[in-house]
Amino acid sequence: MIFGWPRAAFGALCVLVGFAGGLAPGNARAAPSLVIDAATGVVLHAEEATRPWYPASLTKLMTAYVALRAVHEKRLTLDTALLVSVRASRMAPSKMGFRPGTEVTLENALKMIMVKSANDVSVTIAEGVSGSVENFAAEMNQVARALGMRQSNFVNPHGLHHEQHISSAQDMAILARALLAHFPEHAPLYGIGALRLGAQVIPTHNGLLGRYPGADGMKTGFVCASGFNVVASASRNGRRLVAVVMGSPNAKARTLKSMALFENAFAASSWGARPTLAQLPASQFTEPPNLRPQVCGPNRNRGADEDFAIPIAGMTNQDSGMEQSNAAFFSNQGMGASPALQALASGQLGPRPAFEPVPVYVGRAPGWSGVARQALTDEKPDPAIDNPPRRQRAAKRAGAKPAVVQAAKPAPRSAARPAANSTAKPAARPAPKPAAKPAAKPAPKPAAKPAASSTAKPAPKPPARPGLQAAPPPVAR
Protein backbone atom coordinates (compact mmCIF):
# COMPACT_ATOMS: atom_id res chain seq x y z
CA MET A 1 0.00 0.00 0.00
CA ILE A 2 1.17 3.54 -0.82
CA PHE A 3 -0.76 6.32 0.95
CA GLY A 4 -3.64 3.88 1.34
CA TRP A 5 -3.75 3.11 -2.39
CA PRO A 6 -3.14 -0.41 -3.69
CA ARG A 7 0.38 -0.49 -5.16
CA ALA A 8 -1.06 -1.52 -8.53
CA ALA A 9 -3.36 1.49 -8.51
CA PHE A 10 -0.52 3.84 -7.68
CA GLY A 11 1.56 2.24 -10.43
CA ALA A 12 -1.32 2.82 -12.83
CA LEU A 13 -1.41 6.46 -11.77
CA CYS A 14 2.30 6.65 -12.61
CA VAL A 15 1.61 5.40 -16.12
CA LEU A 16 -1.32 7.79 -16.42
CA VAL A 17 0.75 10.91 -15.84
CA GLY A 18 3.68 9.59 -17.83
CA PHE A 19 6.48 9.21 -15.35
CA ALA A 20 6.94 5.49 -14.81
CA GLY A 21 8.21 3.01 -17.37
CA GLY A 22 10.32 3.68 -20.39
CA LEU A 23 12.61 6.36 -18.99
CA ALA A 24 15.61 4.16 -18.39
CA PRO A 25 16.46 0.84 -20.03
CA GLY A 26 16.15 -2.18 -17.81
CA ASN A 27 14.25 -0.47 -15.02
CA ALA A 28 10.56 0.39 -15.35
CA ARG A 29 10.56 2.22 -12.01
CA ALA A 30 13.40 4.52 -12.92
CA ALA A 31 11.91 7.89 -12.01
CA PRO A 32 12.76 8.84 -8.41
CA SER A 33 10.14 10.35 -6.12
CA LEU A 34 10.06 11.13 -2.42
CA VAL A 35 7.76 12.77 0.14
CA ILE A 36 8.93 13.72 3.63
CA ASP A 37 7.69 15.59 6.65
CA ALA A 38 9.78 18.76 6.65
CA ALA A 39 9.89 19.07 10.44
CA THR A 40 11.00 15.54 11.29
CA GLY A 41 12.52 14.14 8.10
CA VAL A 42 10.18 11.13 8.28
CA VAL A 43 9.80 9.50 4.87
CA LEU A 44 6.17 9.14 3.76
CA HIS A 45 6.88 7.80 0.30
CA ALA A 46 10.04 6.78 -1.52
CA GLU A 47 10.68 5.36 -4.98
CA GLU A 48 14.30 5.12 -6.16
CA ALA A 49 15.01 7.96 -3.74
CA THR A 50 18.74 7.23 -3.39
CA ARG A 51 19.39 6.54 -7.05
CA PRO A 52 21.98 8.93 -8.55
CA TRP A 53 20.32 11.45 -10.87
CA TYR A 54 21.24 14.61 -12.75
CA PRO A 55 19.68 17.43 -10.70
CA ALA A 56 19.57 20.10 -13.44
CA SER A 57 18.45 23.46 -12.00
CA LEU A 58 17.55 21.95 -8.64
CA THR A 59 21.26 22.74 -8.20
CA LYS A 60 20.28 26.36 -7.62
CA LEU A 61 18.87 25.40 -4.21
CA MET A 62 22.45 24.61 -3.19
CA THR A 63 23.63 27.84 -4.80
CA ALA A 64 21.13 29.70 -2.64
CA TYR A 65 22.21 27.79 0.49
CA VAL A 66 25.92 28.60 0.00
CA ALA A 67 25.13 32.26 -0.71
CA LEU A 68 22.87 32.59 2.33
CA ARG A 69 25.51 30.90 4.48
CA ALA A 70 28.03 33.50 3.25
CA VAL A 71 25.59 36.24 4.31
CA HIS A 72 25.15 34.56 7.72
CA GLU A 73 28.95 34.47 8.09
CA LYS A 74 29.05 38.21 7.20
CA ARG A 75 31.26 37.67 4.17
CA LEU A 76 28.82 39.87 2.24
CA THR A 77 25.26 41.16 2.54
CA LEU A 78 22.10 40.89 0.48
CA ASP A 79 22.79 44.45 -0.72
CA THR A 80 26.29 43.59 -1.94
CA ALA A 81 26.68 44.38 -5.64
CA LEU A 82 27.87 41.50 -7.82
CA LEU A 83 29.58 42.18 -11.16
CA VAL A 84 28.55 40.13 -14.20
CA SER A 85 31.66 38.65 -15.83
CA VAL A 86 32.30 37.71 -19.44
CA ARG A 87 32.18 34.07 -18.39
CA ALA A 88 28.80 34.54 -16.74
CA SER A 89 27.40 36.37 -19.75
CA ARG A 90 28.28 33.40 -21.99
CA MET A 91 26.17 30.88 -20.09
CA ALA A 92 23.52 28.98 -22.03
CA PRO A 93 19.84 29.75 -21.34
CA SER A 94 17.83 30.06 -19.25
CA LYS A 95 19.45 33.44 -18.55
CA MET A 96 18.82 37.12 -17.93
CA GLY A 97 21.17 38.19 -20.72
CA PHE A 98 23.06 40.85 -18.77
CA ARG A 99 26.16 42.37 -20.38
CA PRO A 100 29.59 42.01 -18.75
CA GLY A 101 30.08 44.78 -16.21
CA THR A 102 26.42 44.89 -15.18
CA GLU A 103 25.90 45.08 -11.42
CA VAL A 104 23.14 43.28 -9.56
CA THR A 105 22.58 42.91 -5.82
CA LEU A 106 22.82 39.49 -4.22
CA GLU A 107 19.18 39.73 -3.12
CA ASN A 108 17.96 40.44 -6.65
CA ALA A 109 20.26 37.75 -8.03
CA LEU A 110 18.78 35.11 -5.70
CA LYS A 111 15.27 36.03 -6.80
CA MET A 112 16.32 35.75 -10.45
CA ILE A 113 17.78 32.27 -10.07
CA MET A 114 14.73 31.02 -8.17
CA VAL A 115 12.11 32.36 -10.62
CA LYS A 116 13.87 32.69 -13.98
CA SER A 117 16.43 29.95 -13.20
CA ALA A 118 19.03 32.25 -14.73
CA ASN A 119 22.32 30.44 -15.37
CA ASP A 120 24.28 33.63 -16.01
CA VAL A 121 23.18 35.05 -12.67
CA SER A 122 24.08 31.77 -10.92
CA VAL A 123 27.66 32.16 -12.14
CA THR A 124 27.61 35.80 -11.05
CA ILE A 125 26.61 34.71 -7.53
CA ALA A 126 29.30 32.02 -7.47
CA GLU A 127 32.04 34.43 -8.56
CA GLY A 128 30.84 37.11 -6.17
CA VAL A 129 30.75 34.79 -3.18
CA SER A 130 33.82 32.64 -3.81
CA GLY A 131 35.83 34.35 -6.54
CA SER A 132 35.30 31.62 -9.14
CA VAL A 133 32.92 28.87 -10.18
CA GLU A 134 35.49 26.28 -9.15
CA ASN A 135 35.90 27.71 -5.64
CA PHE A 136 32.14 27.95 -5.28
CA ALA A 137 31.67 24.32 -6.37
CA ALA A 138 34.15 23.30 -3.67
CA GLU A 139 32.00 25.15 -1.12
CA MET A 140 28.89 23.43 -2.47
CA ASN A 141 30.46 20.02 -1.95
CA GLN A 142 31.68 20.98 1.50
CA VAL A 143 28.14 21.94 2.48
CA ALA A 144 26.75 18.75 0.91
CA ARG A 145 29.06 16.58 3.03
CA ALA A 146 28.21 18.54 6.18
CA LEU A 147 24.46 18.11 5.57
CA GLY A 148 24.76 14.37 4.93
CA MET A 149 24.10 14.45 1.18
CA ARG A 150 25.67 11.16 0.16
CA GLN A 151 25.08 10.96 -3.59
CA SER A 152 25.81 14.58 -4.55
CA ASN A 153 28.78 16.00 -6.40
CA PHE A 154 28.54 19.56 -7.74
CA VAL A 155 30.76 21.05 -10.44
CA ASN A 156 28.81 24.25 -11.21
CA PRO A 157 26.23 26.58 -9.59
CA HIS A 158 23.53 26.28 -12.27
CA GLY A 159 23.00 22.60 -13.14
CA LEU A 160 23.71 22.66 -16.86
CA HIS A 161 24.53 19.09 -17.79
CA HIS A 162 27.88 17.65 -16.76
CA GLU A 163 28.59 13.93 -16.37
CA GLN A 164 30.03 14.47 -12.88
CA HIS A 165 27.29 16.83 -11.67
CA ILE A 166 25.08 14.40 -9.73
CA SER A 167 22.59 14.27 -6.86
CA SER A 168 19.52 12.24 -5.80
CA ALA A 169 15.98 12.71 -4.54
CA GLN A 170 17.16 11.93 -1.02
CA ASP A 171 19.90 14.57 -1.16
CA MET A 172 17.56 17.19 -2.58
CA ALA A 173 15.10 16.55 0.25
CA ILE A 174 17.93 16.91 2.79
CA LEU A 175 18.91 20.22 1.18
CA ALA A 176 15.31 21.48 1.15
CA ARG A 177 14.92 20.72 4.86
CA ALA A 178 18.19 22.51 5.61
CA LEU A 179 17.13 25.64 3.72
CA LEU A 180 13.81 25.80 5.56
CA ALA A 181 15.37 25.06 8.95
CA HIS A 182 18.58 27.09 8.77
CA PHE A 183 17.30 30.16 6.91
CA PRO A 184 13.56 30.30 7.69
CA GLU A 185 13.44 34.07 7.15
CA HIS A 186 14.24 33.48 3.46
CA ALA A 187 11.50 30.90 2.84
CA PRO A 188 9.41 33.39 0.78
CA LEU A 189 12.25 33.41 -1.77
CA TYR A 190 11.17 29.98 -3.07
CA GLY A 191 7.51 30.87 -3.50
CA ILE A 192 7.71 33.96 -5.75
CA GLY A 193 5.16 33.65 -8.53
CA ALA A 194 6.58 36.31 -10.86
CA LEU A 195 9.22 39.02 -11.10
CA ARG A 196 9.04 42.45 -12.68
CA LEU A 197 12.22 43.86 -14.23
CA GLY A 198 11.44 47.18 -15.84
CA ALA A 199 8.54 46.47 -18.19
CA GLN A 200 9.28 42.75 -18.30
CA VAL A 201 7.26 40.26 -16.22
CA ILE A 202 8.96 36.90 -15.60
CA PRO A 203 6.67 34.06 -14.37
CA THR A 204 7.73 31.08 -12.28
CA HIS A 205 8.30 27.64 -13.80
CA ASN A 206 6.70 25.99 -10.75
CA GLY A 207 3.28 24.77 -11.90
CA LEU A 208 2.17 23.94 -8.36
CA LEU A 209 2.19 27.55 -7.18
CA GLY A 210 -1.31 28.96 -7.22
CA ARG A 211 -2.77 25.68 -8.44
CA TYR A 212 -2.28 23.25 -5.56
CA PRO A 213 -3.73 24.41 -2.22
CA GLY A 214 -0.90 25.00 0.24
CA ALA A 215 1.96 24.85 -2.27
CA ASP A 216 4.51 27.44 -1.16
CA GLY A 217 7.55 27.01 -3.35
CA MET A 218 11.04 25.57 -3.90
CA LYS A 219 12.57 24.89 -7.38
CA THR A 220 12.14 23.18 -10.73
CA GLY A 221 14.84 21.84 -13.03
CA PHE A 222 15.23 20.42 -16.51
CA VAL A 223 17.94 19.16 -18.82
CA CYS A 224 17.43 16.47 -21.44
CA ALA A 225 19.61 14.02 -19.52
CA SER A 226 17.53 14.28 -16.33
CA GLY A 227 13.98 14.90 -17.51
CA PHE A 228 11.76 17.34 -15.64
CA ASN A 229 12.51 17.61 -11.91
CA VAL A 230 11.03 19.53 -9.00
CA VAL A 231 11.57 20.02 -5.28
CA ALA A 232 8.28 21.31 -3.91
CA SER A 233 6.93 22.21 -0.49
CA ALA A 234 3.33 22.50 0.65
CA SER A 235 1.65 23.21 3.99
CA ARG A 236 -1.71 22.19 5.38
CA ASN A 237 -3.09 22.28 8.93
CA GLY A 238 0.27 23.26 10.39
CA ARG A 239 2.15 20.45 8.65
CA ARG A 240 4.69 21.09 5.90
CA LEU A 241 5.69 18.38 3.43
CA VAL A 242 8.48 18.33 0.88
CA ALA A 243 8.13 16.33 -2.33
CA VAL A 244 10.87 15.54 -4.82
CA VAL A 245 10.02 14.34 -8.33
CA MET A 246 12.70 13.53 -10.90
CA GLY A 247 12.69 12.18 -14.44
CA SER A 248 9.23 13.27 -15.60
CA PRO A 249 8.84 13.40 -19.40
CA ASN A 250 7.31 16.89 -19.40
CA ALA A 251 6.43 19.73 -17.05
CA LYS A 252 2.77 18.86 -16.83
CA ALA A 253 3.46 15.28 -15.77
CA ARG A 254 5.90 16.61 -13.17
CA THR A 255 3.22 18.87 -11.67
CA LEU A 256 0.51 16.20 -11.72
CA LYS A 257 2.74 13.68 -10.01
CA SER A 258 3.71 16.17 -7.31
CA MET A 259 0.04 16.97 -6.70
CA ALA A 260 -0.79 13.28 -6.33
CA LEU A 261 2.06 12.70 -3.88
CA PHE A 262 1.11 15.71 -1.77
CA GLU A 263 -2.59 14.98 -1.77
CA ASN A 264 -2.27 11.46 -0.56
CA ALA A 265 0.42 12.20 2.00
CA PHE A 266 -1.81 14.89 3.54
CA ALA A 267 -4.80 12.53 3.45
CA ALA A 268 -3.04 9.69 5.27
CA SER A 269 -4.67 9.26 8.68
CA SER A 270 -1.61 7.68 10.23
CA TRP A 271 1.99 7.52 9.17
CA GLY A 272 2.94 4.64 11.44
CA ALA A 273 6.54 3.56 11.86
CA ARG A 274 8.49 4.98 8.96
CA PRO A 275 12.18 5.53 8.20
CA THR A 276 13.86 8.90 8.22
CA LEU A 277 15.80 10.33 5.31
CA ALA A 278 19.09 9.15 6.75
CA GLN A 279 17.77 5.58 7.02
CA LEU A 280 16.89 5.09 3.35
CA PRO A 281 18.82 2.18 1.82
CA ALA A 282 21.49 2.82 -0.76
CA SER A 283 20.61 2.31 -4.41
CA GLN A 284 21.94 -0.60 -6.41
CA PHE A 285 22.81 1.91 -9.15
CA THR A 286 26.04 3.87 -9.03
CA GLU A 287 25.59 6.06 -12.13
CA PRO A 288 22.65 8.22 -13.20
CA PRO A 289 20.78 7.28 -16.38
CA ASN A 290 20.89 9.67 -19.32
CA LEU A 291 17.31 10.27 -20.48
CA ARG A 292 18.14 12.41 -23.51
CA PRO A 293 16.82 9.90 -26.08
CA GLN A 294 13.53 9.46 -24.21
CA VAL A 295 12.95 13.06 -23.12
CA CYS A 296 14.37 15.00 -26.06
CA GLY A 297 14.38 12.37 -28.80
CA PRO A 298 12.01 12.20 -31.79
CA ASN A 299 9.33 10.26 -29.89
CA ARG A 300 9.33 12.52 -26.85
CA ASN A 301 6.22 13.64 -24.99
CA ARG A 302 7.75 16.90 -23.92
CA GLY A 303 6.33 20.31 -23.20
CA ALA A 304 8.36 23.09 -21.66
CA ASP A 305 5.40 24.45 -19.77
CA GLU A 306 2.18 23.06 -18.31
CA ASP A 307 0.18 25.82 -19.94
CA PHE A 308 0.54 24.29 -23.38
CA ALA A 309 -2.15 21.82 -22.22
CA ILE A 310 -0.17 18.72 -23.12
CA PRO A 311 -2.72 15.93 -23.48
CA ILE A 312 -2.41 12.92 -21.20
CA ALA A 313 -3.59 9.71 -22.81
CA GLY A 314 -6.33 7.71 -21.11
CA MET A 315 -5.42 4.73 -18.93
CA THR A 316 -5.32 1.36 -20.58
CA ASN A 317 -7.31 -1.19 -18.62
CA GLN A 318 -4.94 -4.12 -18.45
CA ASP A 319 -7.77 -6.60 -17.90
CA SER A 320 -10.01 -5.62 -20.81
CA GLY A 321 -7.40 -4.09 -23.12
CA MET A 322 -9.74 -1.10 -23.48
CA GLU A 323 -8.76 2.51 -22.86
CA GLN A 324 -10.61 4.25 -20.07
CA SER A 325 -10.65 7.97 -19.37
CA ASN A 326 -8.67 9.63 -16.61
CA ALA A 327 -11.90 10.49 -14.81
CA ALA A 328 -13.18 6.92 -15.03
CA PHE A 329 -9.91 5.56 -13.66
CA PHE A 330 -9.95 7.84 -10.62
CA SER A 331 -13.65 7.23 -10.09
CA ASN A 332 -13.11 3.48 -10.10
CA GLN A 333 -10.33 3.87 -7.56
CA GLY A 334 -12.36 6.20 -5.35
CA MET A 335 -9.72 8.89 -5.64
CA GLY A 336 -11.57 11.78 -7.27
CA ALA A 337 -12.94 13.58 -4.22
CA SER A 338 -10.52 16.48 -3.74
CA PRO A 339 -10.04 19.38 -6.16
CA ALA A 340 -6.42 18.35 -6.68
CA LEU A 341 -7.35 14.81 -7.62
CA GLN A 342 -10.16 16.11 -9.79
CA ALA A 343 -7.47 17.97 -11.70
CA LEU A 344 -5.60 14.70 -12.01
CA ALA A 345 -8.78 12.99 -13.20
CA SER A 346 -9.39 15.57 -15.91
CA GLY A 347 -5.73 15.87 -16.85
CA GLN A 348 -6.13 19.65 -16.84
CA LEU A 349 -4.24 21.88 -14.45
CA GLY A 350 -6.35 24.95 -15.04
CA PRO A 351 -5.09 28.43 -15.88
CA ARG A 352 -1.95 29.79 -14.31
CA PRO A 353 -2.92 32.33 -11.64
CA ALA A 354 -2.10 36.01 -12.00
CA PHE A 355 0.66 36.65 -9.48
CA GLU A 356 1.55 40.13 -8.26
CA PRO A 357 5.10 40.47 -9.65
CA VAL A 358 7.89 41.11 -7.17
CA PRO A 359 10.07 44.00 -8.42
CA VAL A 360 13.77 43.46 -9.07
CA TYR A 361 16.29 45.83 -10.61
CA VAL A 362 19.75 46.08 -12.11
CA GLY A 363 22.35 48.18 -10.34
CA ARG A 364 23.30 48.93 -6.76
CA ALA A 365 20.98 49.06 -3.80
CA PRO A 366 20.04 52.62 -2.82
CA GLY A 367 22.63 53.97 -0.39
CA TRP A 368 25.07 51.08 -0.84
CA SER A 369 28.59 52.31 -1.55
CA GLY A 370 30.80 49.27 -1.16
CA VAL A 371 33.08 47.60 -3.70
CA ALA A 372 31.28 45.26 -6.10
CA ARG A 373 32.24 41.60 -5.78
CA GLN A 374 33.56 40.04 -8.95
CA ALA A 375 35.47 37.09 -10.40
CA LEU A 376 39.14 36.82 -9.52
CA THR A 377 39.89 36.07 -13.19
CA ASP A 378 37.72 36.31 -16.28
CA GLU A 379 37.55 35.17 -19.87
CA LYS A 380 38.72 37.45 -22.67
CA PRO A 381 35.97 39.41 -24.45
CA ASP A 382 35.35 38.38 -28.05
CA PRO A 383 32.76 40.26 -30.14
CA ALA A 384 32.23 37.21 -32.36
CA ILE A 385 31.26 35.15 -29.32
CA ASP A 386 29.60 37.76 -27.17
CA ASN A 387 27.23 39.07 -29.89
CA PRO A 388 26.96 42.75 -28.93
CA PRO A 389 23.58 43.43 -30.61
CA ARG A 390 21.95 40.71 -28.54
CA ARG A 391 23.61 42.07 -25.41
CA GLN A 392 22.20 45.52 -26.13
CA ARG A 393 18.69 44.14 -26.50
CA ALA A 394 19.05 42.26 -23.21
CA ALA A 395 20.33 45.39 -21.49
CA LYS A 396 17.40 47.37 -22.83
CA ARG A 397 14.98 44.82 -21.38
CA ALA A 398 16.85 45.08 -18.09
CA GLY A 399 16.33 48.83 -17.92
CA ALA A 400 19.73 50.01 -19.17
CA LYS A 401 19.99 52.78 -21.80
CA PRO A 402 21.74 51.52 -24.93
CA ALA A 403 19.47 53.89 -26.89
CA VAL A 404 21.79 56.78 -25.96
CA VAL A 405 24.61 55.19 -27.93
CA GLN A 406 22.32 54.29 -30.80
CA ALA A 407 20.91 57.81 -30.99
CA ALA A 408 24.39 59.35 -31.23
CA LYS A 409 25.25 57.47 -34.42
CA PRO A 410 22.56 58.81 -36.79
CA ALA A 411 23.39 62.47 -35.92
CA PRO A 412 26.88 62.57 -37.53
CA ARG A 413 25.59 60.76 -40.59
CA SER A 414 22.79 63.24 -41.20
CA ALA A 415 25.16 66.18 -40.68
CA ALA A 416 27.89 64.79 -42.93
CA ARG A 417 25.67 63.70 -45.79
CA PRO A 418 22.47 65.70 -45.78
CA ALA A 419 22.10 65.55 -49.55
CA ALA A 420 22.52 61.78 -49.81
CA ASN A 421 18.98 60.96 -48.73
CA SER A 422 17.18 64.20 -49.47
CA THR A 423 15.75 66.05 -52.47
CA ALA A 424 18.41 68.81 -52.23
CA LYS A 425 20.60 67.28 -54.97
CA PRO A 426 18.17 67.56 -57.88
CA ALA A 427 17.37 71.16 -56.92
CA ALA A 428 20.99 72.22 -56.31
CA ARG A 429 22.71 70.79 -59.41
CA PRO A 430 20.38 72.01 -62.17
CA ALA A 431 20.28 75.54 -60.73
CA PRO A 432 24.01 76.36 -60.89
CA LYS A 433 24.71 74.74 -64.27
CA PRO A 434 22.32 76.81 -66.38
CA ALA A 435 23.31 79.97 -64.48
CA ALA A 436 27.05 79.42 -64.89
CA LYS A 437 27.20 78.39 -68.54
CA PRO A 438 25.09 81.14 -70.14
CA ALA A 439 26.92 83.82 -68.14
CA ALA A 440 30.38 82.57 -69.14
CA LYS A 441 29.79 81.85 -72.82
CA PRO A 442 27.82 84.82 -74.23
CA ALA A 443 30.07 87.50 -72.62
CA PRO A 444 33.35 86.91 -74.55
CA LYS A 445 32.17 85.31 -77.82
CA PRO A 446 29.07 86.99 -79.22
CA ALA A 447 31.05 90.08 -80.47
CA ALA A 448 33.86 88.15 -82.28
CA LYS A 449 32.11 85.08 -83.64
CA PRO A 450 28.34 85.14 -83.64
CA ALA A 451 28.26 81.71 -85.30
CA ALA A 452 30.22 80.26 -82.40
CA SER A 453 27.26 80.66 -80.09
CA SER A 454 26.35 77.06 -80.88
CA THR A 455 26.53 74.36 -78.25
CA ALA A 456 29.71 72.86 -79.75
CA LYS A 457 32.21 75.12 -77.96
CA PRO A 458 30.79 75.63 -74.47
CA ALA A 459 31.72 72.04 -73.69
CA PRO A 460 35.52 72.50 -73.64
CA LYS A 461 35.46 75.83 -71.80
CA PRO A 462 33.75 75.02 -68.49
CA PRO A 463 36.51 72.56 -67.54
CA ALA A 464 39.00 75.40 -67.94
CA ARG A 465 37.15 77.32 -65.21
CA PRO A 466 36.65 74.86 -62.35
CA GLY A 467 36.02 77.68 -59.94
CA LEU A 468 32.45 77.79 -61.10
CA GLN A 469 31.92 74.23 -59.94
CA ALA A 470 32.68 75.09 -56.33
CA ALA A 471 29.52 77.16 -56.05
CA PRO A 472 26.95 74.29 -55.63
CA PRO A 473 28.16 73.11 -52.20
CA PRO A 474 27.51 76.50 -50.53
CA VAL A 475 24.03 76.51 -52.12
CA ALA A 476 23.29 73.01 -50.84
CA ARG A 477 24.30 73.92 -47.29
- The catalytic site residues sit at 57, 60, 117
Helices (H), 20-118: 59-72, 86-89, 106-115
CB 168 within 8 A of CB 151: yes
- Give Cβ neighbours of residue 440 (< 8 Å, ≥ 6 apart): 458, 461, 462, 465, 468
CB 104 within 8 A of CB 88: no
Quick one: DSSP state of residue 373? B
Residue 269 burial (CB count, 10 A): 6
Q: Strand, coil or helix: what is 39?
A: coil
CB 175 within 8 A of CB 147: yes
Which of 116, 102, 113 lies closest to 67, judged by CA? 113
CA distance 64 to 195: 17
Determine the angle formed by the axes of helices 326-333 and 7-16, rounding to 10 degrees: 160
CA distance 54 to 246: 9
Which of 61, 40, 46, 37 lies closest to 240, judged by CA? 37
Facing residues of 281 across strands?
none
